[in-house]
């Protein structure tokens, strides 16, 4: 009989990461061992890069209107989601597009579109998580789409929580799977998931994992939805330790996955302008410059939860599951200027109150495209091919 149990959100995000990887990799290995067709190539031609020797995540933002940013223009990418198309929906300033990330101890490896497209040939990238990793997925599509010359043959489909996008001539697949809490939950519907009462199903991953069986590169995140203080889980008797041990045993019975694994860390939410010297009633709306103090830390990012996630991933590495953390937390802290705010598609008409006070309808969580997520993908690609 299933029970509904209260549990601390810090504990649950730890278990979620463990279940996601051990259960998900067990599912991947099972399907790969029992399927003879359609398995993607896992061969990577890798040469050492600066990502092997330099901390690319420690740095500062430098304004550079002569660099190659933005990597593309809005009008060049017909697949840009309207939620991120800030210029299309009225944003008039352009300076937010002209900032480059400069690591303290080395130069940042810039996007080499021709080389990247060739090295991704025949590969399947799968982004798994919430709307922020979907934001990054959309960025990757636009980066690659605008890099491929001439007429482009494109394919793709939407099947429930799975969205696929294919560059047919290069056999490159860039896919997204909606799983905001990684394990199964009552938020798994990609269109109907707005609820304040989060329920997760501990040790339930197979329904999700079968969709990324043939992935060469798996990129995931899980943070924002765990900020809810009402997180419960469904289980069927036994302890959490028993559940985890069962998953570990399942993994030990199959061959380790060859999929490259990357975890995108939490990103900043700029909803309290008084934290950077603005008015207490304001947020990211109207912001056109970054915070220039690279030690700035906005109040919505929970350091304790980040430490738990990092510890969970280190524990996974110790158990033979190699997960690379792409630490984008600090570099997003200063970019209060990078959000859509009011400049996006609104799926409901603005109320009179919202028209009078635009900050009430501002999105200060997601990011304009082109923009900050393009930097995340440059970092990700540097580590994929390091």
* 3-class SS of residue 299: coil
Q: Exactly one of 16, 131, 265, 362 is catalytic; name it.
A: 131
- The residue written with tokens 């994992």 in the block is 209
| Chain centroid offset of residue 333 CA | 16
The DSSP call for residue 167 is: E
| Chain centroid offset of residue 301 CA | 16
Is 131 assigned a catalytic role? Answer: yes
Residue 238, judged by CB atoms within 10 A of its CB (0-12, 13-18, 19+), counts as exposed
Secondary structure in 3-state letters for 91-110: CCCCHHHCEEEEECCCCCCC
Is 314 assigned a catalytic role? Answer: no
Q: Exactly one of 130, 216, 337, 363 is catalytic; name it.
A: 363
User: Which residues contact residue 291 at a Cβ distance below 8 angstroms, ignoring those fewer than 6 apart?
Assistant: 276, 333, 334, 335, 336
Q: Exactly one of 81, 161, 366, 374 is catalytic; name it.
A: 366
Is 229 assigned a catalytic role? Answer: no
* Dihedral angle sign, alpha carbons of residues 161, 173, 369, 261: positive
- The residue written with tokens 């890798």 in the block is 46
Active site residues: 131, 363, 366
């Amino acid at each position: 009989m299933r029970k509904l149990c209260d549990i601390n959100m810090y504990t649950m995000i730890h278990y979620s990461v463990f279940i996601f990887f051990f259960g998900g990799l067990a599912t991947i290995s099972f399907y790969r061992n029992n399927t003879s067709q359609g398995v993607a190539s896992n061969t990577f031609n890798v040469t050492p890069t600066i990502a092997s020797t330099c901390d690319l995540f420690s740095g500062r933002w430098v304004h550079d209107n002569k660099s190659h940013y933005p990597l593309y223009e809005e009008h060049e990418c017909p697949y840009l989601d309207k939620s991120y198309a800030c210029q299309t929906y009225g944003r008039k300033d352009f300076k937010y597009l002209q900032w480059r990330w400069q690591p303290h101890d080395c130069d940042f490896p810039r996007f080499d579109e021709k080389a990247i497209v060739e090295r991704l040939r025949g590969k399947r990238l799968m982004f798994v998580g919430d709307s922020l990793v979907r934001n990054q997925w959309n960025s990757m599509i636009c980066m690659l789409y605008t890099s491929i010359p001439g007429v482009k043959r494109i394919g793709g489909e939407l099947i429930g929580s799975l969205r696929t996008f294919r560059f047919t001539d290069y056999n490159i697949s860039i896919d997204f799977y909606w799983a905001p809490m990684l394990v199964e939950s009552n938020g798994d519907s990609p269109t109907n998931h707005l609820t304040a009462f989060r329920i997760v199903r501990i040790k339930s991953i197979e329904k999700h994992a079968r969709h990324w069986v043939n992935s060469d590169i798996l990129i995931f995140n899980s943070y924002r939805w765990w900020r809810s203080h009402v997180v419960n889980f469904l289980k069927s008797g036994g302890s959490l330790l028993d559940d985890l041990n069962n998953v570990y045993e399942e993994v030990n019975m199959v061959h380790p996955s060859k999929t490259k694994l990357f975890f995108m860390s939490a990103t900043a939410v700029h909803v309290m302008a008084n934290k950077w010297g603005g008015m207490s009633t304001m947020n990211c709306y109207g912001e056109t410059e970054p915070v220039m103090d690279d030690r700035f830390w906005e109040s919505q990012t929970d350091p304790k939860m980040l430490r738990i996630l990092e510890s969970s991933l280190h524990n996974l590495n110790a158990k033979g599951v190699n997960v690379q953390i792409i630490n984008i937390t600090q570099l997003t802290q200063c970019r209060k200027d990078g959000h859509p705010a009011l400049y996006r598609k609104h799926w409901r008409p603005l109320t009179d109150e919202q028209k009078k006070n635009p900050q009430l309808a501002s999105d200060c969580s997601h990011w304009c495209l082109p923009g900050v997520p393009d930097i995340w993908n440059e970092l990700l690609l540097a580590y994929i091919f390091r």
